[in-house]
């Protein structure tokens, strides 16, 4: 288990790193598609991923209220550190794919693609261990590892278990977090998106972890969970062909 | 109260971090402790986040209008009409019109690449000209032509325009008093097209040159058959015109 701590530290280091201005994704006719093609989230009953109670905060909207341009917040990474070889070159990854905030509350629901070091390929790091490592970083108060823009002051693990996303094995953790002097409950669900890898340059690629999460006050957590479940239930990991 | 809680949590996180520096920590991530604390309250089954639908029920269509090019899809059939003028006539007469119909296959190499290919068949008509030179000799130009068109250097200019350049190769038929002469036909054309937002309808201009065949036909004496005695001359005629087309 000791290696988890090191994993967590590496995640934090990676998460503070930089380059590449590929769009996060786009809102197509029936779904949000990530630009790396590893997943999509189908719309619900209407042309939205969540109900009107939720506001998408990392995109501007057009006159019709549809997501228009992304409000970009990138993390700067170093290619040689991530890939474990090659020349040191900066590249950027989006801090989050989608971030929703409750209009009449403080709860958030988000989707994020986490770029993992090449050393975490294969069985060396299971979904559970990677997610645990990430949660560990959260517990240590590293801002970039947690919910986007979170000003974390500390966290403790409240619960954890296994999950299934689009038929793939996933893992979840629940943390009680202090952010801006307020107690919040954060749930993270992580899944390896099949054999998809984060690619950049001509031949460089590293594994990635798809993380969905929601945060709220502990009292509102079960209510937000229902919206979150509907959100993640419509996730499709693209089959590899 | 909140500040105190925050302090305790930070302290807990800090102490965990401090313990992680010392080897070997018994439970550095707290999962064993949490599991023991929760006991029977630990969830037993997996949390199923899956509505049962997938690519089988809802096809994957990741066309991004901001990055992709229209029309959507890799291969389309198209039909186009062209009205042109041959400006420097091969027989030094007035400008001649030219009409043609172009059926083609439009192939895009990748949805996010501006490069594409058009491969088609052209059938065209232009006024036939015959000039008697005296001495039983006349020259005749083509009236119709059938050419294969390969617009190989083709790319989109932004989201509503495209430039395409390529050659034509085929035959042209020049009527003569004893029937018709079948001649080689060639052209080199550039096509600048503007299309609607969905890429289906397009209009544009095209220009270039075509090799108009001028067949020399002789009949030395009345009553003798015509003969193609002097071969064919190919005159490069400048072409300029407008186009309108639709892709299916």
Q: Which domains does chain A have, with CATH numbers?
A: 2-237 (3.40.1000.10)
Q: Which residues of B touch A136 (CB under 8 A)?
A: 16, 28-29
Could you give the ipTM of this predicted complex? 0.80
Residue B181 lies in a domain: yes
pLDDT score of A145 more than 50: no
Assess whether B118 and B164 both reside in one domain: yes
Q: Which residues of B touch A177 (CB under 8 A)?
A: 9
Residue B58 lies in a domain: no
Res A9: pLDDT: 47
Res B168: pLDDT: 92
pLDDT score of A157 more than 70: yes
Instruction: Give the angle subtended at the CA of A141 by the CAs of A139 and A144, to the nearest 5°.
Output: 110
Instruction: Find the farthest-apart pair of alpha carbons in chain B and give their distance in angstroms, rounded.
Output: 121
pLDDT score of A156 more than 70: yes
pLDDT band for position A150 (50/70/90)? low
Q: Which residues of B touch A162 (CB under 8 A)?
A: 45-47
* DSSP code at position B248: -
Buried b (16+ CB within 10 A) or exposed e, B203-240: ebebebbbbbbbbbbebeeeeeebeeeeeeebbebebb
Assess whether B17 and B98 both reside in one domain: no
The mean pLDDT value of chain A amounts to 79
The mean pLDDT value of chain B amounts to 78
Q: Do A165 and B67 touch (CB under 8 A)?
A: no
Assess whether B96 and B173 both reside in one domain: yes
| Nearest Cβ partner for A28 among B23, B43, B62 | B62
Assess whether B108 and B169 both reside in one domain: yes
Residue B66 lies in a domain: no
Assess whether B23 and B125 both reside in one domain: no
Mean pLDDT comparison of B38-47, B60-69, B188-197, highest-scoring range: B188-197
Mean pLDDT comparison of A85-94, A128-137, A145-154, A164-173, highest-scoring range: A164-173
Residue B154 lies in a domain: yes
Beta strand segments in chain A, E: 25-27, 31-34, 39-42, 54-56, 59-61, 67-70, 74-78, 90-94, 98-102, 108-115, 152-165, 168-179, 182-191, 197-200, 204-216, 235-237
Output the CA–CA distances (angstroms, integers) from residue B201 to A103, A146, B102, in the order listed: 43, 49, 14
As a whole number, mean pLDDT of residues A146-163 equals: 70
A91 or B190, which is more confident? Answer: B190
CATH number at B114 reads 2.40.160.20
Residue B47 lies in a domain: no
Assess whether B184 and B243 both reside in one domain: yes
Q: Do A233 and B27 touch (CB under 8 A)?
A: no
What is the percent of chain B with per-residue pLDDT over 70, rounded to a whole number?
79
Assess whether B219 and B99 both reside in one domain: yes
Establish if B46 touches chain A: CB-CB under 8 angstroms: yes
pLDDT score of A140 more than 80: no
Residue B16 lies in a domain: yes
pLDDT score of B35 more than 50: yes
Assess whether B90 and B172 both reside in one domain: yes
pLDDT score of A5 more than 60: no
A143 or B55, which is more confident? Answer: B55
pLDDT band for position B1 (50/70/90)? very low
Establish if A229 touches chain B: CB-CB under 8 angstroms: yes
Which domain does B122 fall in, by range?
Answer: 75-247
Q: Do B49 and A189 touch (CB under 8 A)?
A: yes
Residue B88 three-state SS: coil
Assess whether B139 and B34 both reside in one domain: no
As a whole number, mean pLDDT of residues B123-134 equals: 84
Using CA atoms, how far apart are residues B25 and A181, in angstroms rounded to an integer?
29
Res B90: pLDDT: 54
The count of structural domains within chain B is 2
Residues B137-184 pLDDT 10s: 788 888 899 999 999 999 988 888 999 999 999 998 888 777 788 888
Output the CA–CA distances (angstroms, integers) from residue B241 to A148, B43, B164, B189, B218, in the order listed: 57, 74, 14, 11, 34
Res A135: pLDDT: 66
Using CA atoms, how far apart are residues A169 and A99, in angstroms rounded to an integer?
23
pLDDT score of B23 more than 50: no
Assess whether B146 and B224 both reside in one domain: yes
Residues A208-225 pLDDT 10s: 889 999 999 999 999 999
Residue B140 lies in a domain: yes
Residue B170 lies in a domain: yes
What is the percent of chain A with per-residue pLDDT over 90, rounded to a whole number?
27
The sign of the CA dihedral B113, B115, B121, B123 is positive
Establish if A68 touches chain B: CB-CB under 8 angstroms: no
Order of all β-strands in the sheet with A39-42 = A25-27, A31-34, A39-42, A235-237
Q: Do B47 and A31 touch (CB under 8 A)?
A: no
CB contacts under 8 A, A 147-206 vs B, are: 153-167, 169-170, 172, 176-178, 181-183, 189
| Nearest Cβ partner for A165 among B6, B17, B50 | B50
Q: Which residues of A touch B12 (CB under 8 A)?
A: 139, 154, 156
Res B2: pLDDT: 39
pLDDT score of B15 more than 60: no
Assess whether B33 and B79 both reside in one domain: no
Q: Do A183 and B3 touch (CB under 8 A)?
A: no
Determine which of B16, B26, B29 to mutate to test the interface with A (most A C-beta atoms within 10 Å).
B29
Question: Which chain B residue lies closest to A34 (C-alpha atoms)?
Answer: B62
Res A126: pLDDT: 67
CB contacts under 8 A, A 15-54 vs B, are: 23, 26, 28-31, 33, 35, 37, 40, 42
Res B216: pLDDT: 80
- Residue (of A101, A160, A237) closest to B30 by Cα position: A160
Distance from CA of B69 to the nearest CA of A (A): 14
Assess whether B83 and B32 both reside in one domain: no
Distance from CA of A158 to the nearest CA of B (A): 7
């Amino acid at each position: 288990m000791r290696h988890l701590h090191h994993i967590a530290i590496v995640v934090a280091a990676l998460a503070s790193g930089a380059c590449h201005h590929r769009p996060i994704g786009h809102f197509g006719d029936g779904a949000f598609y990530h630009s790396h093609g590893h997943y999509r989230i189908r719309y619900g009953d209407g042309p939205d991923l969540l109900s009107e109670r939720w506001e998408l905060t990392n995109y501007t909207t057009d006159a019709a209220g549809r997501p228009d341009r992304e409000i970009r917040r990138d993390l700067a990474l170093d290619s040689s550190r991530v890939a474990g070889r090659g020349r040191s070159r900066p590249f950027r990854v989006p801090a989050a794919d989608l971030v929703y905030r409750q209009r009449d509350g403080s709860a958030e629901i988000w989707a994020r693609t986490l770029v993992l070091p090449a050393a975490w390929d294969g069985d060396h790091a299971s979904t559970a261990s990677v997610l645990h490592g990430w949660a560990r970083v959260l517990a240590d108060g590293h801002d970039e590892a947690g919910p986007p823009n979170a000003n974390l002051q500390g966290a403790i693990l409240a619960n954890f278990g296994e999950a299934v996303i689009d038929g793939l094995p996933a893992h979840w953790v629940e943390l009680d977090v202090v952010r801006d002097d307020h107690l919040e409950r954060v749930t993270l669900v992580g899944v390896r998106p099949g054999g998809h890898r984060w690619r950049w340059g001509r031949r460089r690629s590293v594994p990635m972890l798809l993380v969905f999460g929601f945060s709220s006050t502990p009292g509102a957590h079960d209510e937000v969970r229902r919206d979150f479940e509907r959100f993640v239930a419509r996730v499709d990991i693209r089959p590899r062909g | 109260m909140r500040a105190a809680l925050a302090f305790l949590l930070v302290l807990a996180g800090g102490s965990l971090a401090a313990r992680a520096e010392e080897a070997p920590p018994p439970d550095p991530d707290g999962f064993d402790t949490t599991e023991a604390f929760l006991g029977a309250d630990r969830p037993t089954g997996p949390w199923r986040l899956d509505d049962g639908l997938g690519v089988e029920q809802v096809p994957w269509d990741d066309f991004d209008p901001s990055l992709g090019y229209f029309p959507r899809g890799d291969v389309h059939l198209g039909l186009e009409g062209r009205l042109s003028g041959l400006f420097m006539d091969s027989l030094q007469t007035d400008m001649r019109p030219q009409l043609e119909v172009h059926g083609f296959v439009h192939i895009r190499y990748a949805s996010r690449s501006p490069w594409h290919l058009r491969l088609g068949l052209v059938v065209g008509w232009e006024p036939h000209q015959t000039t008697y030179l005296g001495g039983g000799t006349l020259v005749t130009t083509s009236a119709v032509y059938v050419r294969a068109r390969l617009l190989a250097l083709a790319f989109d200019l932004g989201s509503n325009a495209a430039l395409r350049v390529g050659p034509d190769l085929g035959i042209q038929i020049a009527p003569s008093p004893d029937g018709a002469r079948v001649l080689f036909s060639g052209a080199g054309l550039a096509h600048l097209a503007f299309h609607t937002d969905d890429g289906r309808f397009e209009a544009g201009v095209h220009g270039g040159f075509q090799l108009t065949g001028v067949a020399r036909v002789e009949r030395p004496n009345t009553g003798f058959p015509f003969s193609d005695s002097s071969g064919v001359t190919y005159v490069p005629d400048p072409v300029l015109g407008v186009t309108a087309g639709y892709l299916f």
